């Protein structure tokens, strides 16, 4: 991959000509397609962002991630601040150089993972103190500290520091948490400062309560962000409840800015979110499932560990152009999974990420041509068929 033009520090990359911007090219129903422009390149939307938790998309070389068609990936503030630390990454030239990925990077704020991974958390108006899940060391995250870490990493799209309760939670808890997140959104905006070429996204909260979502959206819009995320979903509420919320939540956010649904999802979650007006998503599912022998295909999920594949010389998906499908049989994929060979996770992750990016590309094409509904019907019909019969 080519190197950044110049990057003595993760925080000083700037191209004089390009600023962060978003342009919509077409809409079809509520589904939208467009382009986010950044100094590090364009992000075609709707976009799926593979997750590179610890400065790597597990089992993938960065060149391979790019070859699947990904325009952007996601890094996790919580993991990187603990190991190897944001200060070390900054001293080594920033996250792009550190992990050899010169396209855009979005980092989360650390808030969500502090709540799910760290121990002895203490939440106050100021922020969160917690102990590392790695070595028990004590740390603090606040809106100001999260902005500092994401700047040191050199993240192109920075997320506001927020707090979100797991669902189900009672309304009062959701309301208090949302209002705290809105105060933190203002502090995040103030701490982020003026950084041409970089973007700060606000995060809408409010659980499954339509009026709280509306209040949150209004508050964020008043502060003003380069993009808006829908947070607090995919936390155990189920697809029906999530789609119920997505029937109104994206509409509450500005039309002319990218909308990012955090932590979603399965292929059908992604299609349903795009149908409802979402532009960006991220999820560990394609990479994590690849490491546990699960492949997502046009005909549904294939569990490569099943004995039915042991003698099957056919590819996982004969129409897929990824290396796992072009060059290897189901029998081989089954064998290396059973033998716990590393190439098993490598090939299945590649296939899954390739399939996810194919869904995104074909949705972009369908929206541009005004045939999203027909595309969606075909997508669901293919999945309903199920896997090819065993030999
Ligand atoms: Zn494939």
Task: Mark the binding-site residues for Zn(2+), compressed into ranges.
Answer: 320, 322, 325, 351
CA dist., res. 147 & res. 159, Å (int):
8
3-state secondary structure the chain: CCCCCCCCCCCCCCCCCCCCEEEEEEEECCEEEEEEEECCEEEEECEEEEECCCCCCCCCCHHHHHHCCCCCEEECHHHHHHCCCHHHHHHCCCHHHHHCCCCCEEECCCHHHHHHHCEEEEECCCCEEEECCCCCCEEEECHHHHHHHHHHHCCCEEECCCCCCCCCCCHHHHHHHHHHHHHHHHHHHHHHCCCCCCEEEEEECCCCCHHHHHHHHHHHHHHCCCEEEECCCCCCCCHHHHHHHHCCCHHHCCCCCCEEECCCCCHHHHHHHHHCCCCEEEECHHHHHHHCCEEEECCEEEECCCHHHCCCCCCCCCCCCCHHHHHCCHHHHHHHHHCCCHHHHHHHHHHHHHHHHHHHHHHHHHHHCCCHHHHHHHHHHHHHHCCCCCC
Q: Is the predicted pLDDT of residue 255 greater than 70, yes or no?
A: yes
Mean pLDDT of 51-70: 97
Instruction: Give the tokens for residue 262.
Output: 């955090």
Q: How far is the CA of 339 from the centre of ligand 1 (A)?
A: 21
- The answer to whether 313 touches 291, Cβ cutoff 8 Å, is no
Q: How far is the CA of 51 from the centre of ligand 1 (A)?
A: 19
pLDDT at 13: 55
Selected residue with higher pLDDT from 169 and 353: 353
Instruction: Give the tokens for residue 337.
Output: 């999974």
Q: How far is the CA of 239 from the centre of ligand 1 (A)?
A: 26
Mean pLDDT of 378-390: 96
How far CA 301 is from CA of 140, 312, 342, 347, in Å, comes to: 40, 17, 21, 15
Selected residue with higher pLDDT from 14 and 235: 235
- Torsion sign, CA atoms 302, 43, 207, 284: positive
Rg (alpha carbons) of the chain, rounded to whole number = 21
Selected residue with higher pLDDT from 69 and 1: 69
Q: Is the predicted pLDDT of residue 9 greater than 80, yes or no?
A: no
pLDDT at 3: 43
Q: Is the predicted pLDDT of residue 21 greater than 50, yes or no?
A: yes
- The answer to whether 75 touches 62, Cβ cutoff 8 Å, is no
pLDDT class of 118 with cuts at 50, 70, 90: confident
Q: Which residues surround ligand 1, an ion (CB under 5 A)?
A: 320, 322, 324-325, 351
Is 247 among the residues known to form the active site? no
pLDDT at 4: 43
What confidence tens digit (pLDDT) does each residue in 327-367 have?
A: 999 999 999 999 999 999 999 999 999 999 999 999 999 99
How far CA 265 is from CA of 133, 282, 285, 313, 326, in Å, comes to: 25, 7, 7, 31, 26
Angle (deg, nearest 10), helices 267-275 and 342-368: 20
Angle (deg, nearest 10), helices 342-368 and 330-338: 130
Is 108 among the residues known to form the active site? yes
Task: Mark the binding-site residues for substrate, compressed into ranges.
Answer: 108-112, 162, 205, 232
Q: How far is the CA of 353 from the centre of ligand 1 (A)?
A: 9
In the chain, the percentage of residues whose pLDDT exceeds 90 is 90
CA dist., res. 146 & res. 114, Å (int):
12
Mean pLDDT of 179-185: 98
CA dist., res. 174 & res. 177, Å (int):
5
How does the average pLDDT of the chain come out, rounded? 94
What confidence tens digit (pLDDT) does each residue in 256-280 have?
A: 999 999 999 999 999 999 999 999 9
pTM: 0.95
Mean pLDDT of 229-236: 93
Task: Mark the binding-site residues, compressed into ranges.
Answer: 108-112, 162, 205, 232, 320, 322, 325, 351
- Among the listed ranges 59-63, 148-152, 168-172, 382-386, which one has the minimum average pLDDT value? 168-172
What confidence tens digit (pLDDT) does each residue in 87-98 have?
A: 999 999 999 999
How far CA 167 is from CA of 18, 122, 235, 246, in Å, comes to: 40, 20, 6, 16
pLDDT at 5: 42
- The answer to whether 331 touches 312, Cβ cutoff 8 Å, is yes
Q: Is the predicted pLDDT of residue 50 greater than 80, yes or no?
A: yes
Mean pLDDT of 7-34: 78
CA dist., res. 207 & res. 294, Å (int):
30
In 3D space, the residue among 284, 246, 267 whose CA is nearest the CA of residue 113 turns out to be 284
Among residues 282, 312, 317, 387, which one is catalytic? Answer: 282
CB within 8 Å of 204: residues ≥ 6 apart: 213, 216, 217, 220, 228, 229, 230, 231, 232, 249, 252, 253
CA dist., res. 23 & res. 71, Å (int):
16
Mean pLDDT of 286-315: 97
pLDDT at 14: 54
pLDDT at 60: 98
Mean pLDDT of 310-323: 97
Selected residue with higher pLDDT from 383 and 118: 383
Q: What are the domain boundaries of the chain?
A: 21-282, 290-382
Q: Is the predicted pLDDT of residue 286 greater than 80, yes or no?
A: yes
What confidence tens digit (pLDDT) does each residue in 150-163 have?
A: 999 999 999 999 99
Q: How far is the CA of 330 from the centre of ligand 1 (A)?
A: 11
Q: How far is the CA of 324 from the centre of ligand 1 (A)?
A: 5
Q: Is the predicted pLDDT of residue 35 greater than 90, yes or no?
A: yes
Q: How far is the CA of 100 from the centre of ligand 1 (A)?
A: 24
Among residues 102, 108, 312, 317, which one is catalytic? Answer: 108
Mean pLDDT of 71-96: 98
Q: Give the fold, CATH level 3, of 21-282.
A: TIM Barrel (3.20.20)
Q: How far is the CA of 36 from the centre of ligand 1 (A)?
A: 27
In 3D space, the residue among 18, 10, 73, 23 whose CA is nearest the CA of residue 40 turns out to be 18
């Amino acid at each position: 991959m080519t190197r950044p033009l110049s990057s003595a520090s993760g925080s000083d990359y700037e191209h004089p000509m390009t600023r962060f911007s978003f342009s919509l090219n077409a809409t079809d129903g509520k589904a939208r397609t467009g382009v986010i422009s950044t100094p590090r390149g364009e992000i075609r939307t709707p976009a799926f962002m593979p997750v590179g938790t610890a400065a790597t998309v597990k089992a993938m070389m960065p060149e391979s991630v790019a070859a699947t068609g990904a325009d952007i990936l996601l890094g996790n503030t919580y993991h990187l601040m603990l190991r190897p630390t944001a200060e070390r990454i900054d001293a080594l030239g920033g996250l792009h150089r550190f992990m050899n990925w010169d396209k855009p990077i979005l980092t989360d704020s650390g808030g969500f993972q502090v709540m799910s991974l760290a121990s002895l958390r203490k939440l106050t108006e100021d922020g969160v103190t917690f102990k590392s899940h790695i070595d028990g060391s004590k740390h603090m995250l606040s809106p100001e500290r999260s902005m500092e870490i994401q700047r040191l990493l050199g993240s192109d799209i920075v997320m506001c520091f927020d707090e979100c309760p797991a669902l189900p939670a009672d309304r009062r808890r959701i309301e208090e948490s949302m209002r705290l997140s809105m105060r933190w959104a203002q502090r995040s905006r103030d701490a982020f400062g003026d950084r041409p070429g970089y973007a700060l996204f606000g995060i809408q909260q409010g659980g499954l309560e339509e009026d709280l979502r509306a209040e949150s959206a209004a508050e964020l819009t008043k502060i003003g962000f380069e993009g808006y995320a829908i947070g607090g979903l995919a936390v155990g509420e189920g697809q029906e409840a999530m789609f119920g919320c997505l029937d109104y939540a994206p509409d509450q956010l500005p039309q002319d800015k990218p909308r990012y649904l955090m932590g979603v999802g399965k292929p059908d979650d992604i299609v349903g979110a795009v149908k409802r007006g979402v532009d960006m998503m991220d999820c560990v599912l394609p990479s994590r499932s690849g490491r546990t022998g699960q492949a997502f295909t046009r005909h549904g999920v294939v569990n490569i560990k099943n004995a039915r594949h042991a003698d099957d010389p056919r590819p996982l998906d004969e129409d897929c152009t990824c290396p796992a499908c072009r060059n290897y049989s189901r029998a081989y994929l089954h064998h290396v999974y059973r033998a716990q060979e590393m190439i098993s996770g490598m090939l299945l992750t590649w296939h899954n990420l390739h399939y996810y990016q194919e869904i995104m590309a074909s949705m972009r094409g369908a929206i541009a041509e005004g045939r999203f509904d027909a595309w969606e019907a075909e997508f669901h019909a293919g999945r309903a068929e199920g896997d090819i019969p065993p030999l």
